[in-house]
Amino acid sequence: MAITLADVEEALAIEPEEIPGSYTDRDSLLYNVAIGMGKDPLDARELEYVCETIGNRVVPTAATVLTRPEHRASNPPTLMSKMNFVMMLHGEQRLQVHQPLPPAAETLISNAITGVYDKGEGKGALLTNETQVKLKDGSPLYTVGSTLFFRGDGGFGGSSEGAPVAHTLPDREPDAVCELAQRDDQAMVYALCGDRNPLHRDPGIAAKAGFDKPILHGLCSYGIACHAVLKTMLDYDQTKMTGFDVRFSSPVFPGETHIVEMWKDDNVVSFRTRIKERDVISINNGKCTLA
């Protein structure tokens, strides 16, 4: 079932519904461990993220797994049900942090499709969405956004203008490099944060998708990059981070070593992730905004 311009216009006109949500310190602690924090049980700075008797810090990119509404919106956009998810790729992820994430919280969540861009027949379509999360008292907590590339949905008659533009990395050698080795069972742990897609754990399903073995969740790689920036550029002080945007470039396998290259210019840390074992860029055009 092909989407039409009318489907797109209808989805963009929907007023987002605010839904109650919540998360616990178990959720935030599990996320911090799932992206590789605490592998050295005597590292005092990382213990602040994984041991509640020492600290209560939360990695900002945990926002991607802590956004859990109590129920679905009553009027979900019909557009999404008509798009070809088999041909979908997660292209970009964005984050704005309005205040440091508490270890546990009751929240208010609203989600909206913010744009659909037609790349042309046979070239696919880009869909951008945004989720705003507030604390129960109404104060903004964070905003997460993504760009999804639907390879089979181009040619519906829409415009290609206005799609997000990737951040440009500096044209010089990195100011800092952080190498983070990962665990072979990392996808098993990260799946417990909420993403149960069997592509990341079931070898048979991974093979059907064209992979020799299950691949790591893209949002886990996103969190690993955030870990590297926190460790290398911010001395583990997550309160200095106000934004974290990336473009996904290549699949990653569990157990591979992430080399995060970073450049600092004023209040922006630009970065990319290179996979050591295969010398491929997995995350590109990274932009971390500082307070």
User: What residues does each domain of the chain span?
Assistant: 5-150, 176-290
What is the model's pLDDT at position 76? 58
Catalytic residue list contains 217: no
Burial of 162 (0-12, 13-18, 19+ CB in 10 A): exposed
* Superfamily of domain 176-290 in the CATH hierarchy: Hotdog Thioesterase (3.10.129.10)
Residue whose tokens read 């129960």:
136
Active-site position among 25, 43, 175, 195:
195
Among 95, 131, 114, smallest CA distance to 245 is for 95
Q: Under a CB-based contact definition with an 8 Å cutoff, are residues 49 and 57 in contact?
A: yes
Active-site position among 200, 217, 227, 258:
200
Average pLDDT over residues 84-91: 85
Domains 5-150 and 176-290 belong to one CATH topology? yes
- The answer on pLDDT for 77 being more than 90 is no
Alpha helices in 14-132 (DSSP H): 25-34, 44-50, 63-66, 78-82
pLDDT band at 26 (very low <50, low <70, confident <90, very high): very high
Which pair of tokens denotes residue 139?
A: 């104060």
Q: What is the pLDDT of residues 250-273, one digit of tens each?
A: 999 999 999 999 999 999 999 999
Q: Which fold has domain 5-150?
A: Thiol Ester Dehydrase; Chain A (3.10.129)
Number of DSSP helices (H) and strands (E) in the chain, helices first: 8, 10
Q: What is the pLDDT of residues 124-158, one digit of tens each?
A: 999 999 999 999 999 999 999 999 999 899 999 99
- The answer on pLDDT for 53 being more than 90 is yes
Which pair of tokens denotes residue 86?
A: 């088999």
- The answer on pLDDT for 75 being more than 70 is no
Give the global pTM: 0.95
What is the model's pLDDT at position 1? 65
What is the model's pLDDT at position 196? 93
DSSP state letter for 117: E
Average pLDDT over residues 88-95: 94
Radius of gyration of the chain (CA): 19
Residue 180, classed as helix, strand or coil, is strand
Catalytic residue list contains 265: no
Q: What is the pLDDT of residues 176-198, one digit of tens each?
A: 999 999 999 999 999 999 999 99
The phi and psi torsions of 101 (rounded to 5 degrees) equal: -70, 125
Percent of the chain with pLDDT over 70: 98
What is the model's pLDDT at position 246? 98
